Structure 1
């Protein structure tokens, strides 16, 4: 199992792949995608930088886009509290979860669901945007950023489809730093409660295992923590997501 530091480095590398602005140095690492969706713009880490100074600089770099602060184990202790004292609002606490690809619980594939790689962002992005909170007016920018994505790793976009051929579920497998990290695991509302999300997760883990990757990681919502726990993931840390 890879260390938490490695898991966090892979997470930073993925979000920096969306960046079109100045990311700064390791003391204040930011990313800006221009997509009007807070998780796709923000502050990844604060180390050795006073919260007030970090806030001033981050507001300058991220002016004009919704954004979040990932206050997690890779930031200085007390970062969240310091930002809260400056007026930040905590919007979520997200568990950081990992598993070994060879030991994850097998999830059955729903009857009729076919999972394959998607290479068409014009189809794939609207599907995950619908369930991840990206507004319709932000979809064109997200498509552009997916087309231009550059990062220290490999992105594989998986789409699950039933007989009608339309995307029912999505998952992004990010292969970087020796592990696979999952993003945009989602199910279209009309196909929920059929095991699609679990099947998409299992397909991503199978893909990683076939490539010799032993560790899988993801950042879950609080509501999804029990679901991923049943699939064999364990919580190894938490992010506190903050907003101003």
Structure 2
């Protein structure tokens, strides 16, 4: 399992660099997004698994405040066990999420009647609604150029987008995978509140798996919200291998 976790650490360090600059703070790296889009976070420097002090966490938090970005940290508990105590002592709240890796080819659930699930290209008429659907699912307002930013990433091969489309071609669920070499993470799978409990998120995830495999990706992984969601992803062949931690200020 250590080999798999090391592979994911390399991915975690590489994937933000296509849209962010990295600022180094000793055992921690702060990724700062350049341009519009979801803000990034701080995480352990690649290859570092030792202890982290409260003062080092506070240095990063001060820089995040200076930049006006969220005071957020993300890491894998099993890879960097020495970070949690320092983060919690600094006053942040840590949330645990199942980190899951796909085993095998993955199942292919059929979408409900009247819904089409497919990949969406950079110039696809469905892209605007597919870009907006996850934001609506998570209750977040998209930036004005979110669709344009996503189209540019798709055109550059950095992101691949799948969507579940209703009869009029509007996306009611969508998600992405972001390959780096032979590893890709499935992210941002979200379904409109009015279309939930129909299996659309799993159908979109299955389409992303198929696309990743067709592109030669060997390791497909994701982070589930909680154990209940993890059981749903297990139907597609995902297995929990570790715990992803996300730290943020108390709400």
TM-score (ref. length: structure 1): 0.82
Judged with a 3 Å threshold, the aligned counterparts in structure 2 of structure 1 residues 153 and 78 are, in CA distance, closer, same or farther, namely farther
Q: After the TM superposition, which segments of 4 or more aligned residues of structure 1 sit over 6 Å from their partners?
A: 34-37
Q: What secondary structure does 1:139 align onto?
A: coil
Q: What secondary structure does 2:225 align onto?
A: coil
Q: What secondary structure does 1:40 align onto?
A: coil
Q: Deviations over 1:9-45 (max 9, x none)?
A: 22333333332x44327732122237899x7321122
CA contact (8 A) 1:101 1:214 kept: no
The separation in 1 between residues aligned to 2:73 and 2:236, in whole angstroms, is 28
1:226 maps to 2:228 = no
Once the 2 structures are TM-superposed, how far is the Cα of residue 62 of structure 1 from its aligned partner? 5.0
CA contact (8 A) 1:34 1:141 kept: no
Q: What residue is the counterpart of 1:184 in the other structure?
A: 188
Judged with a 3 Å threshold, the aligned counterparts in structure 2 of structure 1 residues 101 and 10 are, in CA distance, closer, same or farther, namely farther
Once the 2 structures are TM-superposed, how far is the Cα of residue 217 of structure 1 from its aligned partner? 0.3
The separation in 2 between residues aligned to 1:34 and 1:185, in whole angstroms, is 23
| Counterpart selection for 1:129 from 121, 124, 135 | 135
Q: What residue is the counterpart of 2:214 in the other structure?
A: 210
Q: What secondary structure does 1:24 align onto?
A: strand
Q: Deviations over 1:133-153 (max 9, x none)?
A: 42x2x5226456545659x97
Q: What residue is the counterpart of 1:4 in the other structure?
A: 5
Unpaired runs of 5+ residues, structure 2, are none
CA contact (8 A) 2:77 2:245 kept: no
Q: Deviations over 1:87-143 (max 9, x none)?
A: 1222x21111001352x2332222232223142664333222111342x2x522645
Q: What residue is the counterpart of 2:29 in the other structure?
A: 29
Q: What secondary structure does 1:31 align onto?
A: strand
Unpaired runs of 5+ residues, structure 1, are none
Judged with a 3 Å threshold, the aligned counterparts in structure 2 of structure 1 residues 179 and 53 are, in CA distance, closer, same or farther, namely closer
Q: What residue is the counterpart of 1:116 in the other structure?
A: 119
Once the 2 structures are TM-superposed, how far is the Cα of residue 234 of structure 1 from its aligned partner? 0.5
Once the 2 structures are TM-superposed, how far is the Cα of residue 213 of structure 1 from its aligned partner? 2.3
Q: Deviations over 1:131-178 (max 9, x none)?
A: 1342x2x5226456545659x973111122011211111110111131
Number of residues of Structure 1 aligned to a counterpart in Structure 2: 237
The separation in 2 between residues aligned to 1:141 and 1:25, in whole angstroms, is 31
Judged with a 3 Å threshold, the aligned counterparts in structure 2 of structure 1 residues 119 and 148 are, in CA distance, closer, same or farther, namely closer
Judged with a 3 Å threshold, the aligned counterparts in structure 2 of structure 1 residues 147 and 108 are, in CA distance, closer, same or farther, namely closer
